[in-house]
Structure 1
Amino acid sequence: MLSVVVAPWEGEPVFVRAPDEPHDAASTMKVAVLAALHRSGADLDAEVPVVNRFVSVAGGEFANDPGWDSDPEPWALLGGTAPLRLLAERMITHSSNLATNLCLARVGHPAVAEVWRRAGATRSASPRGIEDYPARDQGVHNRVSALDLVRLLRSLAGEPELLALLERNAFRVDLAAGLPPGTRIAFKNGWSPGVRHGVGLVHPGDCPSYLLAVCYTGPLASGEDETAADPAARLLARISAAVWERRREIAR
């Protein structure tokens, strides 16, 4: 299943394909966790214990697998402490699963649900942590739609520091790979076997900024974090490149 939404920064989408189709959220839900954390008023400079035991929403506990994490830095701090700000940054810039669950434990699921509600999401929710497999086995899933991801990014309009952090995303594959080198894009991607998503705010420089969300669920997604290794990432890059070619028409 392929879902696509193209929209100006302000205004209704100009192109949609299966915009409300639900997909496994993968790491795109980390944007909602980031917003919840910043809106909570938490002291981002506070040191928090770096642990790998989390409460499952199904009861009991679960842990992250370092082999499934794309960021080794938080794991190097295991057993010590880290500033909440650092964990939030690694959650976005390097898509750390461990940092995500530490931030989520700090802010709570209701706060993340409120982020989705304020964004106007209709099909998306993040009711469990990353790798909370006991909850998943009981039918609790993190879901997103392409249209809700556009709504989520647009809801950050009054929080430029969050958009600036999204510009520092180190995984410049899929959507970013389809843009000319040096093009500014505030974005978050997510991937796992069978899933490849991306949502971004693109700043062309020669026309107004625009939003693009692409969600793909299917056999092309290898789960690799590099464009060359994941056919689905190359698909998203081609879509991003095609939208770029018509960027001047979006705001019209």
Structure 2
Amino acid sequence: MGWGELDARLDRVPGVVSAYVGRLDAAASWARHPAATHYAASTMKVAVLLALHRAADAGSTDLDAPVAVVNEFESARPGAPRFSCARHYDNDDAVWERVGATASLRWLAHRMITRSSNLATNIVLGHVGLPAVAEAWASAGARHSVTGRGIEDFAAREVGITNLVTAGDLAALLGGLASGANRPGPLATPAACAAMVDVLLAQEHRDDLAAGLPAGTRIAHKNGWVRGVRHSAGVVFPDDAPPYAIAVCTTTEPATGQERAEDGCRLVADVSAAAWAARHRLAG
């Protein structure tokens, strides 16, 4: 499927589908509404991961020191009461089983990415702070993405404080981590970038971008979903071509059942398959 044919198909999707595909050392080979903002869902967790490793690089945070595993957090809305996460809305019982005990920030960050744990995200975010996440986005050259609050901070959401991403910004962030693992860059030290890429390679939710790739293909990625939203962004490492960044953000009609929810995964997987088929032709 060529880019034109893919665009024509995506034009028929009810909602907004944004995408970016490009080699790490070049401009996009194909992009579709790359600056359109979408509710971030869990893709914002990559910026939280970067903020944590930047703090470790600066010496202000010890990734292996034990921290309290709590379920009470400061709201981003001034004057609002503290809020908590709901266990049934999370994807990782392992973090919840440690509430009242301790865990390392490194372990929590790993669960935040590989299992997409909301509780782990809010604990890590509480340690690094929202300004540090904003700096992480800026270091990647993100132009439109914002992390304004933690997960399930409904008081902040009610007054319009939210989390936004674009396909272009997500591609810049993930691509920057992959590039930064091989040479010094603006995001973090090469060792920190390599560690973050390793965590992203261990992603356990593989039913969108990874589903469009041949079995065994290495992809460092993070996805996110809520009703009507399915996003995924990462870097693919083919054995026979240079690595490339890919990000797909879909905000469509809210799913009303399992079949509709799977439609979003299939859509992202189809874009991923088209990018894979074009991997030898990407601009370099």
Aligned-partner residue type, residue 24 of structure 1: Y
Q: When the two structures are superposed, what TM-score results if normalisation uses the length of structure 2?
A: 0.85
Tell me which residue corresponds to 1:206. Answer: 240
Contact 2:255 2:261 in 1 (8 A): no
Out of 31, 39, 54, the position equivalent to 1:16 is 31
Q: Is the 8 A contact 2:175 2:234 kept in 1?
A: no
Contact persistence 2:51–2:136 (CA under 8 A): yes
Partner of 1:45: 64
State the shift of 1:84 in Å: 1.2
Of 152, 155, 164, the match for 1:143: 164
- TM-score w.r.t. structure 1 length? 0.96
Q: In the alignment, is residue 105 of structure 1 matched against residue 120 of structure 2?
A: no
Q: Report the Cα offset of residue 251 of structure 1.
A: 3.7
Alignment equivalent of 1:232, drawn from 264, 267, 271: 264
Query: 1:77 aligned to 98, 113, 122, which one?
Result: 98
Residue pair 1:192, 1:223 contacting (<8 A) in 2 also: no
Aligned partner of 1:248 in structure 2 is 280
* Deviations 1:113-162, CA, capped at 9 Å, x for gaps: 00011111111010100111100100001000000001111222321111
> 91, 94, 98: which is aligned to 2:112?
91
Count of matched residue positions in the alignment of Structure 1 and Structure 2: 250
Unaligned runs of 5+ in 2: 1-15, 181-192
Shift of 1:219: 2.0
Letter in 2 for 1:46: A
1:114 aligns with one of 119, 126, 135: 135
1:10 Cα deviation after fit: 1.1
Match of 1:178 among 212, 233, 238: 212
Post-superposition Cα deviations, 1:21-45, rounded to whole Å, max 9, x if no partner, equal 0000000000000000011021111
Moved over 3 A (4+): 220-224
Q: Secondary structure at the match of 1:155?
A: helix
Quick one: which amino acid aligns to residue 40 of structure 1? A
What fraction of aligned residue pairs are identical, expressed as a percent? Answer: 50
- Greater C-alpha Rg: 2
Once residues 31 and 116 of structure 1 are traced to their aligned partners in structure 2, the CA distance between those partners, rounded to angstroms, is: 10
Q: Secondary structure at the match of 2:147?
A: coil
Aligned partner letter, 1:244: W
> Does the C-alpha gap of structure 1 residues 206 and 220 become closer, same or farther in structure 2, counting only changes over 3 Å?
farther
Q: Shift of the alpha carbon at 1:14? A: 1.0
Q: Do 2:27 and 2:283's aligned partners in 1 also have CA atoms closer than 8 Å?
A: no
Match of 1:6 among 21, 37, 41: 21
Q: Which moved more, 1:149-158 or 1:162-171?
A: 149-158
- Taking only aligned residues, the RMSD between alpha carbons, in angstroms, comes to 1.5
1:29 maps to which residue? 44
Asked whether the equivalents of residues 36 and 107 of structure 1 are also in contact (C-alpha less than 8 Å), the reply is yes
- Secondary structure at the aligned position of 2:139 is classed as helix
The structural deviation recorded for 1:228 is 9.3
Query: What amino acid is the match of 2:129?
Result: G
Q: Aligned pair 1:166/2:200, yes or no?
A: yes
**One-letter code of the match for 2:155?**
P
In structure 1, which of residues 48, 63, 68 is the aligned counterpart of residue 89 of structure 2?
Answer: 68
Q: Distance in 1 between matches of 2:41 and 2:282?
A: 28
Amino acid at match of 1:151: A
Distance in 1 of aligned mates of 2:129 and 2:19: 30
Residues 208 and 251, structure 1, Cα contact 8 Å, conserved in 2: no
